[in-house]
Amino acid sequence: SDLQKQEERGELLLPLIFVLLVLCSVLLYFKVSLMDPGFVKPEEEVKEGEDKGQGVVIPQIPGDIKLRRCGYCLVKQPMRAKHCQLCQHCVRRYDHHCPWLENCVGERNHPLFIVYLSVQLVVLLWGGHVAWSGLYFEQSREWLQHNIFLLVSFLLIFIFTIVVLLLLVSHLYLISCNTTTWEFMSHHRISYLRHSELENPFDQGIILNLWRFFC
């Protein structure tokens, strides 16, 4: 049969990989949106210098900056934590609250968020290629009527691809500098950055920043 011939020629492998990538993207979406992003628990009374992975960089921050209690949930905030009013929790290494995920992006789910964006970008690029390959341009009204769905699909995929690409590139840049979206946007409002002699006291070089984040 035609199906067996296509299987023998390996033509069914690419559609299968595409479906698996879409499935992987959906699973990553639910994983990132439903998991704990790094909520600070009331029983986790963090002492100064106790934060994991911060021992190298804390001495570079002025000693008069002490950990403070959150005015909303009254927990002692670790360094780089911030209270999210939408989630009603303080989040460790807070990056931002993602409205698409309906969850914060923080210490625990930030690496998975990057993986999700990467897989989503591959799916969108692949889908855009499929939509574009199905278009055969002709200057006629009948052509537009028969190809309007493919044309709209390609335009939507193109827009989403640009958004995801910009998000991924910006996040990778911030990760390589060992800073967060919140710290980058609100540098002048954050006490441990505003009073620091260094512009970014957490930066330890691109390679070490990436290693600490992903590994």
Determine the Cα–Cα distance for residues 121 and 30; give it in Å rounded to an integer. 17
The partner residues of 98 in beta bridges, in order of sequence, read 103
Catalytically annotated residue among 24, 73, 87, 98: 98
Is 84 known to be catalytic? no
Give the residue numbers marked as catalytic.
98
